[in-house]
Structures are given as structure tokens and as C-alpha cells.
Amino acid sequence: MAVEGAWEAPGPVPPAGVRLAASRRTEDDAAARTRPLLPGVRVAVLNFREPQQEAAGGAEQYAWQISRHLIAQGASVSFATAREPGQARAETRDGIELRRMGGKYLVYLLVPLWLLFRRRRFDVVIDCMNGIPFFAPLVVRRRTTVISLVHHVHDRQFHAFFPRWPARIGCFIEGPVARLLYRRCVTVTVSESSRHELRERLRWLAPIQVIPNGSPAARPVATGVVVAGDPAVVYLGRLVGHKRVERVIDLAADLRESWPGLHVHVVGRGQEHARLAAHAQGRGVAGRVHLHGFLAEPAKNAVLGAARLNVTASEFEGWGLTVIEAAALGVPTVAYDVAGLRDSVRHGVTGWLVREGENLADVVDAALRELRDPVRRAEIQRACRAWAAEFTWGRAGATMTGLIAAELHRSGNIRLAATTALPAPRPEHLT
């Protein structure tokens, strides 16, 4: 059901799609220069990680970019998260007050306690649920606006990476517990398929609004970087188990006969680095697999932009931020036809989806053959850039700003109602 005021995916890219996208970026920039819309609003963002941590990914980038936009709109933002060894407990970056506490499990106890003792300081709490929520509605004042942010449903991940009973507990918290606890809190998610899964698999009760990720506006590219392979295939993202990066590495072995010059480039950091290097060695393709680790933005974009194809083998995604990063450089993506990725990849236009019963290597092989035609490749590159240009952090931040303003007015917060933006329409309640 179409929702007034909610983001809707654009239709097929018209011939003038690039000019339309540029026009929308100009509108976003102009909107950012208007007067602040949330003056004096105090926001707490609760997230599992922050962008500078080793295992940080798209969810952390999303929360940080939204926080930056809220700062630009006159709000004050405190970002509560976990703490990695060697990190300071507190610092200010981009105008955001960072508060780090606990490790990857203890954070779910310490952050609610931190919020409990500061509950009178905040007008809005954005509670990011990465499988497990921070239970903000239990500890804040009744008049405080709580927004639940859910990137995707984690139930299958619990069973994939935890023993039976911990997985069942995780599913119980994500499902029945969170469903009831957040039933009166508007929920934000990043794709239509994630909204569908919230309704169908978790039987989510709260109103849901889709606010997709943005993409970088400027793409600095390092010069003089030599990227091996003809063709070169790239994976960009975290090196963690559920990303299934070994399947991308396997392409160098599975396609060695049909594409003898193919090299696989893996850009990212994470706990799986050593295992992936051993996997490449075991498949006999260590010389054609390049584990770059973390790369600064210009070098990362040089590798990504030189690739013929971006491949992600993950089966659990809310959207696929790296898909849009690749598309911004004119690089199409092959991904599995799963929730989130089927939203960020336009099958046959900006990439290809691996359908049920299909093999990743076969789809990559077919994609590379299609891209071998320079005319077809140029067509896909134009479509990728136009598609990526549809998504800006300014647009995402503006939508979140309107949602926060609407919720403050709805809750009757008299102190803020006179200064915040006029309320936007609330998202749908049931679809």
C-alpha cells in the first residue's frame, strides 16, 4: 500500500535520469541550507557499534550519518555504543557526543542503565535494534519520543551463529518481546522488503516508515593504483561469517577455466581475514585473490571503480549499502535474491540477482559475458550511476527530521512544538 510521506523506490530510469538525480541532489543541498528544523531537541542514538570500530558496517554508517544531519538541524546528539579495547570512553566527533561502554554483550546492559540515569536529558531516543534492542521505552519518561530503527530481521542469523537455546532466546526477544515493547513507537527500516519481513515474520505492530540509506556525494579516487585482473571482481564490506566472503573467493577457482584472467579483490576488515586467506590457499587461488584489508576512501574507490563486477554473497541484509557505493562508480552487483538486496539491486538494470536454484558462479559468469559487450556495459554503468544518485544522506536525514518533528507534535511536547518543523504525515500503521 502506498503511504503518503513515505519514501518510494523510483521507477525505471528515464533517459534523463542522470540529470534528474543531479537536480534532486541540488534540492537536498538547498534544503540543508535552510534554517534548522530541530533547534534545542536533545537526541540519544543507541547503536551496537560506531563507524570507527573494526566490525562496523552499513548500520553504523546509517546511524552516524543520520546523527550528523540532526546536528545540522539544531539538535544535540549523544551516541551511546560499545567500546573496543584502546578506545576512549567519551569523545566528540562531527559535533556528536560519543559515549562508549561495555563489550558486544555488556553494552546491552550498560547503555540502558546510562539512559536510565539521564532520562530527563533527552526528548528523542533512536533505539537501533540489531537483533537485540536497548529497551528504551522501559527506562525513559513517558513523554520522551522513542523511534525504533530496524535494518532487517535477524532470526535466521541467531540460528546460524548461536547454539539452539541462545538462538531461541534471541528470536524471542526480537519477536514477541520487542513487538509488544515497541508497539507504540514508530519504527524506521531501510527497505520495503525489510518492512514486509517485520510484518510477516515478526508480526510487528508499530507504524513503519521506510528511510533508505544514502550514498557518498563525492567519490575521490586515488591515481596510480594498479588493480590486477582481467576481469577484476570485488567484494566490499566487513569480513564476518554471515557475509559468506568465501563464496566470492571461490569464484577465482570455479571460473578459472572460462575466465583465466579473473582476480578477486576483497576490501574490508574483520575477524575472518586469516580464515579467508587460508581458504584461498586451500582452493589454490592465493595468487589471484587479493585481501586488501581496510583501505582509505580514495584507494578503496580506485579498487572498486576498476572492477568489472561487485559481488556480495550475504544472505542477511537490510539494504546493501556497498551495492550503492559500487553503483555510484558505475559498477554493477551480483547478489542473492534476498530481503534488502532485492531492493538495492535492480535485476537486469544495475546488476543481477541469484534466484532460488541458481548458482552464484553461473550468474557471475553470465554477468561477465554480458559486460564484455562495451555498448551494454556502458548502458549498465549509466543506469548504475543514475540509480545511486537517487539516494542521498541529505534526503534520508531530511525524512528522519520530518518524522521526529511529527512525533514531537503528536506527543504534545509543548516546549518543542513551537520551534520544530511542521509535522509530516505519520507512516502507515498496518500494511
92-128 pLDDT, tens digit per residue, is: 999 999 999 998 889 999 999 999 999 999 999 999 9
> Above 60 in pLDDT, residue 393?
yes
User: What's the confidence (pLDDT) of residue 319?
Assistant: 82
User: What's the confidence (pLDDT) of residue 167?
Assistant: 80
Q: Where in the chain is the domain with CATH 3.40.50.2000?
A: 31-214+392-417, 232-389
User: What's the confidence (pLDDT) of residue 135?
Assistant: 96
User: What's the confidence (pLDDT) of residue 159?
Assistant: 65
User: What's the confidence (pLDDT) of residue 169?
Assistant: 87
User: What's the confidence (pLDDT) of residue 131?
Assistant: 86
pLDDT band at 14 (very low <50, low <70, confident <90, very high): very low
User: What's the confidence (pLDDT) of residue 33?
Assistant: 54
> Above 50 in pLDDT, residue 430?
no
pLDDT band at 25 (very low <50, low <70, confident <90, very high): low
Of the given ranges (50-54, 298-302, 415-419), which has the lowest mean pLDDT?
A: 415-419
CATH class of segment(s) 232-389: alpha beta
pTM: 0.79
User: What's the confidence (pLDDT) of residue 429?
Assistant: 37
pLDDT band at 423 (very low <50, low <70, confident <90, very high): very low
Please report, rounded to a whole number, the percentage of residues in the chain having pLDDT higher than 90.
Answer: 65
- The more confident residue out of 159 and 121 is 121
The sheet carrying 76-81 orders its strands as: 90-93, 96-100, 76-81, 42-46, 124-128, 145-149, 187-189, 208-210
> Above 90 in pLDDT, residue 273?
yes
Of the given ranges (25-34, 61-70, 72-81, 253-262), which has the lowest mean pLDDT?
A: 25-34
Q: What is the dihedral of CA 185, 147, 48, 398, to 10 degrees?
A: 150
pLDDT band at 15 (very low <50, low <70, confident <90, very high): very low
CA-CA distances (angstroms) from residue 55 to 50, 82, 134, 164, 264?
9, 11, 19, 24, 21
Question: Taking the domain 31-214+392-417, which CATH number applies?
Answer: 3.40.50.2000
> Above 80 in pLDDT, residue 158?
no
User: What's the confidence (pLDDT) of residue 415?
Assistant: 58
Burial class (CB in 10 A: 0-12, 13-18, 19+), 290: buried
Average pLDDT, the chain: 86
Beta-carbon contacts of residue 212 (< 8 Å; ≥ 6 apart): 7, 190, 191, 319, 343, 391, 396
> Above 70 in pLDDT, residue 250?
yes
Q: How far apart are CA 170 and CA 168, in angstroms?
A: 5
> Above 90 in pLDDT, residue 312?
yes
> Above 60 in pLDDT, residue 2?
no
> Above 80 in pLDDT, residue 87?
yes
User: What's the confidence (pLDDT) of residue 174?
Assistant: 87
Q: How far apart are CA 336 and CA 242, in angstroms?
A: 13
Please report, rounded to a whole number, the percentage of residues in the chain having pLDDT higher than 70.
Answer: 85
